[in-house]
């Protein structure tokens, strides 16, 4: 792309490129052209979306439609349960679970024959399997509101032209041409934007503190070290709209007076790295990074730094030390990075989703964002919905929506009609929220008050088959392994908690252990050095509070009510047994006996509880007791 | 100044102070473990890792570490609420739950900061028990043992090794419960750039790092009727030994030390100071030779084995700069097993030379292959001041009540110039006293070079001698040494002579001395003890030592004679930087 040297150049470029969006954003049907957008994120690429794109292009070529039809990738649509998605513009048809083999049907039937491929449409379970062709008619999307994800599913993230067509870099241009740095800070402050990565610190305030520091060198860091298991909102933004991060960081840099930026990104995100690096290179070529951006005299550039897979490096001070080449360990705050950060210089660190909000705040104004949300939390939040829920995927909702709306309306309820038990928010350090709290309006404070947190937006749903003690142990297993080991409470305390939980699930714990579990958890919260350690006991304390009876059952009755804790149950064969012998042949320790067509039995004293028999039995006659 | 309240008492402290500083000003005691602030030598360990010093700060969600939380105006701090006490006790129990309970037979027993803290917090049971660390003991070094199962991860050793000494042999390894402090690639410490300076040992609060204990070996030597065992004592030992027996710091205990050693049955109680005078003879001659013949300048002292290993690793392109003189310990051994053996008519094979040193690197130095005299190891066994303390205690000697006894002749004779070897600046001062006399042909009247004394990391002076400005510098602490050496390498500094000691403040702060436990003022007191010994000595110049004169007359000939070079000089080894 040729260099854009002034705001006027950008306005002209935007005007020229805007027609790129005509079919998509405006649904213009006059041109007799069609565009196909295909999920191009990591998740759908592993479901063959690359092959699907190739197959579509091959079929388009075969049908000699190249002049009127284009097919290209886009960012994550979020409906991962039904991916890969193919969306056809301007018809606004939303095909789900499309395979490369379906390419021929889409091209021949839809593109050539103008007949929608019914079998690829989403079947709405709430309406008896009614097939829906439009995205906005689906419950999954009805209550969503896309700000951070606004370009995901709309533009090709690999082309800067598409980003500009979608009003990209206009926010930066506005800042540089018409606003003083302090006005930019004020605008972000008044939008009410808060950090989307964990703590929810007011973004504008953070920028203000950094802007106030007198120092000739300051840094902007984008925290892209998304480490919560199951969370992929930051990855999706980086893959689907990388220029929004470049623009957001440049705006922050202008506001605080920095000319150097780093993106600390997980090396396990190769596609995000590739797209972001391409965006940075394109932005530099086009003049949105580098010296004298848009002729304003402001200079800024971005470098990518790769994280080596330590969860704790998502903590800002640990992240800074990692960039500096040191061991990824947090240090005591204060001083905060905004005062003394990277190489001792004032540094602001915001996460990916936070930066993705920034260009729009500047373009549309603070009031636009603060118009929705709750009193203390404005705008939207992206959640990664996972667990025992029908619609697994990435959703962006306005703050203040209830958990019930997310789980039952957007998420389509619990899998296999099971009973909801709890939802765990905020990643591995979040707490488990029980059914009684499903109607709370979500914001930072509401979740914290319930012993959980917003975190980066993980949301894992549990049903009646989940043992809450086992769940707590699972999370502690993660935080214990990921502890940097620097402070005593996290290094040893969380290890001891994990040991007590293991004793409980093994049926070896006493009521005194439960008391110790609770008191130790509280001390860890109070004394650990960083957020990782302080919040690690959250899953324990919240489950102790809401699922006390389940703990007591393990300790006193040596029983796991959900039938999960393997050391507390036996495999037995019920009367339904038909004597087929499959279990007997599948048992690795040969502890099942029985004549053909006779009831079989398991020798419990020799059973290793591997569960192999359970999987072999065709009539589910093997039960856990 | 920042004004705040602690336990409702008002206090004002300078900006940048911590809550702990402010509490100390109010005489409020907050227990600490990992924290160590040796401000004078720029060693501040403020990682706030142990979480023992947690206090309540009004308006803060969690407790705050007093050692690392800066004060703020109007701050309200409470140090001993039930919440803080419970937190402290719990944290302490967690530490102890992963700490061996073999205090009865531990090297640090009764001198252990963890043990003392457990007593202070009256920990009598450990509520949380579980898996314990299983790290392999590293006994690869002849100087010290690393027993990481006893480590509380205070990280003082790491701060000392990396930030103060700039050796960078230690760093945090692994994650979570398996976190430890170790060497690169977990190599045995002997295979790393470690200099054995022992400053990590000096600051370790537990027995995770401790000297190799040679007491048992010494007892076996003394018990062997075939062995003729002589002992030498380094100057810094007499300045600190008394501290362990209730004698005020800064009191020299030379005579009592000699008396105690004699009780153990050594055949001769000699003094390393004798060899320090000998070192000056050789080193001053070398300096004058280099000055007069356009040799390599500056000359660097080579008494300190930690420093020698440091430059062999870090400045291996400059191996021709240091003096070729062996250290006094080794010169002593070389003379003892040749000249002295002849004089006493003892087969050198039967003679054992034992050193009492303030230093653990001396254990390593004695084992270096090139350190032998006519094929016999110059020094057979090295013990630290701390090991001597243990022996005196075990022998039931009432040390404070011992009479003063003199060293044996002739290797017990020394000058004031020798005793100040133990403090930073002392070697150079001693060398200048002799160099002055030799260069000018006159006798220096004012022998004190006060500008070279003190704990300051780098000291410089220009001394006019015989119409020439002799530029000298002194560095103690390897980080300071590195700075000086880099300046020299870059051509930014020009000196004639430089003294370097690995330990901040010199040997008096050696890794084998009684633990200072964070009270660095003790180092200055030890220095004063040595300078007072110097002042009280009739002879204050090495070349005036009659025993040394006799040694040259009877045996060596003159400084730098062929025999002197063979016995008293050495060469250096190029070592890798990693």
- The pLDDT, as a whole number, for residue B577 is 85
- Give the per-residue pLDDT at A126: 85
In a domain, B461, yes or no: yes
Band (pLDDT 50/70/90 cuts) for residue A28 is confident
**Nearest partner of A280 among A324, A319, A243, A251, judged by Cα:** A243
CATH code of the domain containing A101 = 3.40.30.10
Predicted confidence (pLDDT) per residue in B482-525, tens digit:
999 999 999 888 899 999 999 999 999 999 999 999 998 999 99
Taking the CA of residue A255 and the nearest CA in chain B, the distance in Å comes to 27
> Does B93 lie in the same domain as B143?
no
Q: How many whole angstroms from its chain centre is CA B269?
A: 23
Q: Are residues B200 and B258 in the same domain?
A: no
Residues A137 and A47 in one domain: yes
- B103: in domain: no
Per-residue model confidence as pLDDT tens digits over A46-76: 999 999 999 999 999 999 999 999 999 999 9
Whether residue A405 has pLDDT greater than 90: yes
Which tens digits make up the pLDDT trace of A313-333? 999 999 999 999 999 999 999
Place of tokens 């220095």: B527
Question: CB distance A332–B69 less than 8 Å?
Answer: yes
CB-CB contact of A341 with A318 (8 Å): no
Q: What is the mean pLDDT of residues B168-185?
A: 96
Q: Same structural domain for residues A183 and A302? A: yes
Taking residue A519's Cβ as centre, other Cβ atoms within 10 Å add up to: 14
- ipTM over the 0.90 cut-off: yes
Residues A334, B175: C-beta atoms closer than 8 Å: no
Helix (H) or strand (E) holding B430: helix B426-440
Q: Let me know whether A113 and A174 are in one domain.
A: no
Tell me if A15 is assigned to some domain: no
**Domain assignment of residue B477, yes or no:** yes
- The whole-number pLDDT of residue B578 equals 78
Chain A closest-CA separation from residue B492 CA (Å): 27
Indicate whether B522 and B557 sit together in one domain.
yes
Residue B576 forms part of a structural domain: no
In the prediction, which pLDDT does A364 show?
Answer: 95
In this prediction, residue A427 carries a pLDDT of: 86
Asked if A251 and A295 sit in the same domain, the reply is yes
* Nearest Cα residue in chain B from A477: B176
- The reply to whether B105 falls in a domain is no
Residue A233 contacts residue A394 (beta carbons within 8 Å): yes
Angle formed at CA A31 by CA A28 and CA A36, multiple of 5 degrees: 70
Are B226 and B205 within one domain? no
Task: Determine contact, residues A452/A418, Cβ cutoff 8 Å.
Answer: no
Mean pLDDT of chain A: 94
Q: CB of A460 within 8 A of CB of A392? A: no
- Name every residue whose Cβ is closer than 8 Å to that of residue B375 and which is 6 or more positions away in sequence: none
Same domain, A586 and A448: no
Q: What is the pLDDT of residues B340-380, one digit of tens each?
A: 999 999 999 999 999 999 999 999 999 999 998 888 999 99
Residue B457, in any domain of the structure: yes
CA dihedral B92, B94, B99, B103 (to 10 degrees): 40
Q: DSSP for A354-386?
A: HHHHHHHHHHH-HHHHHTSB-SS-BSEEEEEEE
Is B286 catalytic? The answer is: yes
Confidence of residue B329 (pLDDT cuts 50, 70, 90): very high
Interface of A with B in 515-534 (CB under 8 A): 516, 519-520, 523, 525-529, 534
* Residue B407 pLDDT class (50, 70, 90 cuts): very high
- List pLDDT tens digits, range A541-578: 999 999 999 999 999 999 999 999 999 988 999 999 99
Per-residue pLDDT for B558 more than 90? yes
Instruction: Give the nearest chain B residue to A483 (CA atoms).
Output: B176
The answer, yes or no, to whether residue A429 has pLDDT greater than 90, is no
Q: What is the CATH number of the domain that holds B81?
A: 3.10.20.740
Pick from B79, B97, B115: which residue ends a domain? B97
Verify that B227 and B183 share a domain, yes or no: no
The pLDDT value given to residue A228? 87
Q: Are residues A75 and A90 in the same domain?
A: yes
What does each C-alpha distance from B145 to B20, B151, B207 come to in angstroms?
Answer: 32, 12, 9
- DSSP of B457-471, one letter per residue? SEEEEEEEETTEEEE
Choosing among B158, B172, B177, which should be mutated to test the A contact, i.e. which has the most A CBs within 10 A?
B177
A80 and A168 housed in the same domain:
no
Label residue A30 by pLDDT band (50, 70, 90): confident
Q: Are residues A350 and A250 in the same domain?
A: yes
User: Is B439 contained in some domain?
Assistant: yes
Same structural domain for residues B147 and B244? no
> What is the structure's pLDDT at A239?
96
Beta strands B299-300 and B497-501, pairing class: parallel
In terms of C-beta density within 10 A (0-12 exposed, 13-18 middle, 19 or more buried), how is residue B467 classed? Answer: exposed
Mean pLDDT within B104-120 = 96
Annotated catalytic residue B150: no
What is each CA distance from B405 to A280, B256, B269, in whole angstroms?
79, 6, 10
Question: Which uninterrupted H or E stretch holds A251?
Answer: helix A242-256
Could you give the CA distance from residue A496 to residue B431 in angstroms, rounded to a whole number?
59
- pLDDT band per the 50, 70, 90 thresholds, residue A199: confident
CATH code of the domain in which A409 resides: 3.10.20.600
pLDDT digits (tens, 9 = 90+) for B136-160: 999 999 999 999 999 999 999 999 9
pLDDT of A229 > 90? The answer is no
What average pLDDT does the segment B3-12 reach? 97
Q: In terms of residues, how long is chain A?
A: 625
Question: Which of A291-295, B257-261, B409-413 comes out lowest in average pLDDT?
Answer: B409-413
| Whether residue B287 sits in one domain with residue B192 | no
Within-domain flag for A235: yes
Report yes or no on A22 lying in a domain: no
Q: Are A483 and A312 in contact (CB under 8 A)?
A: yes
Contacts of residue B140, Cβ cutoff 8 Å, sequence gap at least 6: B188, B189, B190, B191
Per DSSP, helices labelled H in A308-463 are 316-323, 352-364, 366-370, 403-404, 444-449
Of B127, B129, B15, the closest CA to residue B73 belongs to: B15
Contact assessment for residue B539 and residue B344, using Cβ atoms and an 8 Å cutoff = no
User: Quick one: closest CA in B to A493, which residue?
Assistant: B94
State chain B's mean pLDDT as an integer: 95
Question: What does each C-alpha distance from A163 to A151, A171, A518, B4 come to in angstroms?
Answer: 8, 12, 51, 53
Residues B205 and B231 in one domain: no
At which of A88, A109, A142 does a domain end? A142
pLDDT at B238: 97
Task: Please answer whether residues A319 and A223 qualify as being in contact, where contact means their C-beta atoms are separated by less than 8 angstroms.
Answer: yes
Tell me if residue B363 is catalytic.
no
How many structural domains compose chain A? Answer: 5
What's the pLDDT at A70?
Answer: 94
Q: What residue numbers bound the domain in which A98 lies?
A: 33-142
In this structure, are B345 and B296 located in the same domain?
yes
CA distances from A441 to A97, A195, A376, A453, A545 (A): 33, 18, 12, 13, 21
Q: What is the CATH number of the domain that holds B243?
A: 3.40.50.1780
Q: Are B373 and B233 contained in the same domain? A: yes
Contacts of A76 (CB under 8 A, 6+ apart): A39, A41, A43, A44, A149, A152, A153, A236, A239, A240, A394
Cα(A166)–Cα(A605) distance, rounded to whole angstroms? 67
* Predicted pLDDT of residue A456: 85
| pLDDT tens digits, A120-146 | 999 998 888 899 999 999 999 999 999
Domain presence at residue A279 = yes
Confidence band for A598, pLDDT divided at 50, 70 and 90: very high
Q: Best residue in A504, A527, A530, A536 to probe B by mutation, most B CBs within 10 Å?
A: A527
Same domain assignment for residues B194 and B275: no
pLDDT of residue A83: 86
Q: Is residue A332 part of a domain?
A: yes
For residue B40, give Cα distances in angstroms to A526, B356, B457, B504: 33, 27, 9, 9
**B521 touching chain A per CB within 8 A:** no
**Domain edge (last residue) among B159, B182, B212:** B212
pLDDT at A625 over 90: no
User: Which pLDDT does position A455 carry in this prediction?
Assistant: 86
CB-CB neighbors (< 8 A) of B69 in chain A = 332, 334
User: To which residue do tokens 């001792």 refer?
Assistant: A344
Residues of A in contact with B83 (CB under 8 A): 526
Angle, CA B208 vertex, CA B102 and CA A534 arms, to 5°: 95
Structure-block tokens of residue B295: 């040799």
| pLDDT for B330 | 98
- Give the up-direction half-sphere exposure of residue A357: CA atoms within 13 A in the CB hemisphere: 28
pLDDT at B303: 96
pLDDT of residue A624: 86
Instruction: Determine the pLDDT at residue A198.
Output: 78
Residue B410 lies in a domain: yes
* Count of CA atoms in the C-beta half-sphere (13 A) of A526: 22
Interval B190-220: pLDDT, tens: 999 999 999 999 999 999 999 999 999 999 9
Residue of A nearest to B56 (CA): A526
Identify the domain containing residue B206 by its residue range: 133-212
Domains of chain B: total: 3
pLDDT attached to residue A158: 97
Do A116 and A254 fall within a single domain? no
The answer to whether B59 and B180 are in contact (CB under 8 A) is no
CATH for B163: 3.30.70.20
Domain boundary among B97, B121, B142: B97
Size of interface A-B (CB pairs under 8 A): 113
Closest by Cα among B398, B385, B40, B71 to B239: B385
Per the annotation, the verdict on B558 as an active-site residue is no
**Domain-embedded: residue A28:** no
Of the three residues A463, A481, A505, the one that is the final residue of a domain is A463
**Cα–Cα nearest to A105, from A40, A35, A55, A65:** A55
Q: Is the pLDDT of residue A387 over 90?
A: yes
Q: Are residues A458 and A474 in the same domain?
A: no
Mean pLDDT of A159-183: 96
**DSSP tag of A119:** G
**Touching check for B65 and chain A: CB below 8 Å?**
yes
B381 and B468 inside one domain:
yes
Weakest mean pLDDT among A39-43, A347-351, A402-406 = A39-43
């Amino acid at each position: 792309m040729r260099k854009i040297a002034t705001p006027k150049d950008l306005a002209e470029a935007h005007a020229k490129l805007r027609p790129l969006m005509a079919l998509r954003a405006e649904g213009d049907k006059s041109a007799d052209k069609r565009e196909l957008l295909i999920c191009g994120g990591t998740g759908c690429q592993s479901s063959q979306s690359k092959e699907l794109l190739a197959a579509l292009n091959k079929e388009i070529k075969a049908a000699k439609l190249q002049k009127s039809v284009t097919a290209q990738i886009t960012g994550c649509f979020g409906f991962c349960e039904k991916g890969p998605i193919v969306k056809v513009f301007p018809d606004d048809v939303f095909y789900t679970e499309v395979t490369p083999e379906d390419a021929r049907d889409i091209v021949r039937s839809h593109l050539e024959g103008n007949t929608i491929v019914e079998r690829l449409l989403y079947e709405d379970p709430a309406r008896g399997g009614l097939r829906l062709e439009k995205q906005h008619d689906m419950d999954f999307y009805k209550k969503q509101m896309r700000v951070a994800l606004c370009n995901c599913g709309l533009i090709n993230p690999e082309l800067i032209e598409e980003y500009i067509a979608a009003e990209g870099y206009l926010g930066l241009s506005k800042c540089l041409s018409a606003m003083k740095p302090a006005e930019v800070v004020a605008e972000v402050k008044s939008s009410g934007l808060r950090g989307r990565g964990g703590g929810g610190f007011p973004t504008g305030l953070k920028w203000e503190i950094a802007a106030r520091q007198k120092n000739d060198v300051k840094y902007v860091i984008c925290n892209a070290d998304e480490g919560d298991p199951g969370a992929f909102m930051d990855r999706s933004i980086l893959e689907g709209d990388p220029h929004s991060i470049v623009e957001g960081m440049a705006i922050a840099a202008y506001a605080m007076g920095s000319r150097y930026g780093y993106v600390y990104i997980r090396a396990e995100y190769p596609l995000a790295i590739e797209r972001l690096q391409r965006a940075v290179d394109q932005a530099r070529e086009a003049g949105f990074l580098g010296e004298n951006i848009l002729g304003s005299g402001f200079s800024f550039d971005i470098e990518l730094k790769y994280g080596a897979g330590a969860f704790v490096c998502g903590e800002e001070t640990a992240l800074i030390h990692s960039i500096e080449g040191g061991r990824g360990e947090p240090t005591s705050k204060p001083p905060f990075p905004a005062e003394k950060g990277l190489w001792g210089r004032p540094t602001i660190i915001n996460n990916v989703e936070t930066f993705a909000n920034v260009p729009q705040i500047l373009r549309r104004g603070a009031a636009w964002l603060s118009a929705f949300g709750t009193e203390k939390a404005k705008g939207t939040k992206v959640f990664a919905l996972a667990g025992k829920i029908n619609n697994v995927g990435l959703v962006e909702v306005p703050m203040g929506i209830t958990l019930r709306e997310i789980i039952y309306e957007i998420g389509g309820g619990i899998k296999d009609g099971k009973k909801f038990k709890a939802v765990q928010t905020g990643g591995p350090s979040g707490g488990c929220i029980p059914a009684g709290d499903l109607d709370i309006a979500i914001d930072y404070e509401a979740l914290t008050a319930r012993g959980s947190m917003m975190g980066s937006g993980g949301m894992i749903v549990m049903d009646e088959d989940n043992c809450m003690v086992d769940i707590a142990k699972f999370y502690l297993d993660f935080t214990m392994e990921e502890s940097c080991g620097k402070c005593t409470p996290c290094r040893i305390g969380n290890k001891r908690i994990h040991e007590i939980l293991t004793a409980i699930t093994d049926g070896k714990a006493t009521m005194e252990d439960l008391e110790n579990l609770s008191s130790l958890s509280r001390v860890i919260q109070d004394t650990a050095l960083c957020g990782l350690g302080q919040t690690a006991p959250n899953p324990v304390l919240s489950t102790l509070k809401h699922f006390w009876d389940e703990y007591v059952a393990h300790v006193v009755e040596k029983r796991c009510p959900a039938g999960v804790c393997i050391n507390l149950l036996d495999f037995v064969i019920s009367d339904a047994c038909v004597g087929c012998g499959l279990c007997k042949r599948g048992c690795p320790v040969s502890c099942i006996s029985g004549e053909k067509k006779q009831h079989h039995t398991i020798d419990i004293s020799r059973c290793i509880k591997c569960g192999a028999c359970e999987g072999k039995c065709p009539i589910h006659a093997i039960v856990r007791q | 100044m920042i004004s705040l309240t602690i336990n409702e008492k008002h206090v004002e402290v300078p900006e940048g102070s911590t809550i702990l500083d402010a509490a100390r000003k109010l005489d409020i005691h907050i227990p600490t473990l990992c924290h160590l602030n040796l401000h004078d030598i720029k060693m501040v360990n403020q990682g706030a890792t142990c979480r023992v010093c947690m206090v309540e700060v009004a308006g803060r969600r969690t407790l705050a570490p007093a050692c690392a939380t800066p004060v703020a105006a109007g701050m309200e701090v409470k140090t001993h609420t039930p919440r803080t006490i419970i937190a402290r006790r719990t944290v302490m129990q967690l530490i102890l739950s992963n700490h061996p309970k073999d205090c009865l037979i531990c090297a640090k027993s009764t001198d252990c900061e963890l043990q003392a803290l457990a007593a202070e917090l009256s920990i009598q049971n450990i509520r949380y028990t579980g898996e314990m660390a299983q790290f392999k003991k590293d006994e690869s070094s002849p100087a010290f043992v690393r027993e990481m199962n006893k480590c509380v991860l205070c990280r003082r050793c790491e701060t000392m090794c990396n930030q103060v000494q700039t050796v960078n042999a230690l760093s945090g390894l692994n994650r979570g419960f398996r976190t430890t402090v170790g060497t690169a690639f977990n190599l045995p410490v002997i295979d790393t750039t470690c200099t054995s300076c022992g400053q990590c040992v000096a600051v370790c609060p537990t027995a995770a790092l401790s000297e190799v204990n040679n007491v048992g070996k010494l007892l076996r030597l003394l018990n062997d009727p075939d062995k003729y065992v002589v002992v030498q004592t380094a100057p810094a030992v007499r300045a600190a030994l008394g501290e362990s027996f209730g004698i005020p710091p800064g009191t020299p205990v030379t005579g009592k030390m000699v008396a105690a050693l004699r009780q153990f049955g050594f055949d001769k109680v000699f003094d390393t100071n004798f060899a320090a005078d000998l070192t000056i003879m050789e080193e001053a001659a070398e300096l004058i030779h280099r000055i007069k013949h356009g040799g390599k300048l500056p000359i660097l002292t080579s008494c300190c084995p930690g420093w020698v290993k440091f430059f062999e690793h870090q400045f291996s392109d400059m191996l021709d700069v240091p003096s070729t003189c062996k250290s006094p310990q080794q010169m002593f051994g070389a003379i003892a097993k040749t000249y002295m053996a002849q004089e006493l008519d003892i087969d050198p094979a039967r003679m054992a030379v034992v050193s009492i040193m303030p230093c653990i690197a001396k254990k390593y130095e004695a084992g270096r292959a090139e350190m032998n005299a006519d094929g016999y190891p110059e020094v057979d066994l090295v013990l630290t001041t701390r090991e001597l303390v243990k022996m005196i205690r075990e022998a039931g000697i009432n040390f404070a009540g011992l009479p003063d006894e003199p060293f044996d002749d002739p290797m017990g004779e020394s000058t004031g110039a020798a005793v100040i070897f133990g403090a930073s600046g002392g070697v150079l001062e001693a060398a200048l006293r002799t160099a002055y006399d030799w260069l000018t042909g006159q006798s220096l009247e004012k022998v004190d070079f006060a500008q070279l004394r003190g704990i300051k990391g780098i000291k410089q002076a220009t001394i006019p001698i015989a119409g020439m400005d002799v530029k000298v510098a002194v560095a103690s602490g390897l980080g300071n040494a590195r700075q000086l050496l880099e300046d020299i390498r870059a051509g930014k500094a020009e000196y004639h002579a430089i003294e370097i000691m690995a330990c901040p403040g010199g040997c008096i702060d050696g890794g084998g001395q009684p633990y200072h436990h964070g009270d660095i003022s003790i180092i200055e007191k030890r220095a004063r003890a040595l300078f007072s010994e110097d002042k009280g000595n009739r002879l204050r110049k090495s070349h005036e030592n009659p025993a040394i004169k006799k040694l040259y007359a009877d045996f060596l000939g003159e400084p730098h004679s062929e025999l002197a070079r063979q016995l008293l000089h050495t060469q250096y080894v190029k070592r890798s930087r990693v």
